[in-house]
Amino acid sequence: MAFEKVTVPSEFLDNSACYAGSEAAAAVRRTIPAGARIGYWVASDGWKLRRFDWPAANPRGRLLFQT
C-alpha cells in the first residue's frame, strides 16, 4: 500500500490567496483540508475504496468522484 505525503509549502500564508508561485499553488491545491479524514470502505465486491470524511457546518449532500 502506498502512502501519500501531503504538505503545504512554507511560503503559503494562512487566510491568504497569495502563493509563492505556480508550483506552490499546485501543492496547496492538493493538500487535504484541515478537519478532513481519510478512511477506507470495502464495497460489496471486495474492492477497498478510499473515502474522505470532511465534516461541514451545513452539509448539502454527497459527492462521488472517481479518478
Condensed to tens digits (0 to 9), the pLDDT of residues 22-53 reads 666 666 667 777 888 888 989 999 999 888 88
6: nearest Cα among 55, 52, 60: 52
pLDDT confidence of residue 44: 94
Question: Does residue 9 surpass a pLDDT of 50?
Answer: yes
Question: 3-class DSSP state for residue 27?
Answer: helix
pLDDT confidence of residue 1: 46
Instruction: Please indicate whether residue 19 or residue 41 has the higher confidence score (pLDDT).
Output: 41
Q: What's the rounded Cα separation, in Å, for the pair 23 and 28?
A: 9
